[in-house]
Structure 1
Amino acid sequence: MTPEEFFMYLIIALVIIAPIGARLYRRLTLNRTTQMLRDQLKQSQGPRTTTPPAEPPR
């Protein structure tokens, strides 16, 4: 294989693999972030056991 062929195949592979890898990474991190936000939202909307603040004296 000549150097020209090697670099041609390398460039083709990078043009195809890099966008696919970026999309997969973005999708994985988006799913993970979405799940973390859902968990935090469920925790914050759980049953409230605290009493409401007392009214200030008049």
Structure 2
Amino acid sequence: MVPVHDHAHPHAHAHGLASPHPPQAASWSILRMPVVTRLGAALVVSAGLWAVVLLAMR
């Protein structure tokens, strides 16, 4: 006879409390970008932040 598991209680964790969550695949990571691309992105972000500062000072 197969036991019936039909009572209502939440199963919050499928792993033990001492073990960490399993890693998930990252679809995008800044660490995987080439250095030149990272520097370009940093310059774009920096220019955008400076634009916000200069507009706020007007």
TM-score > 0.5, shorter chain as reference:
no
Q: Determine which structure has greater relative contact order: mean sequence separation of CA pairs < 8 Å that are 6+ residues apart, divided by chain length.
A: 2
Give the TM-score range, shorter chain: 0.3 to 0.5
Normalising by the residue count of structure 1, what TM-score does the alignment of the two structures yield? Answer: 0.42
Which of structures 1 and 2 has the bigger CA Rg? 1
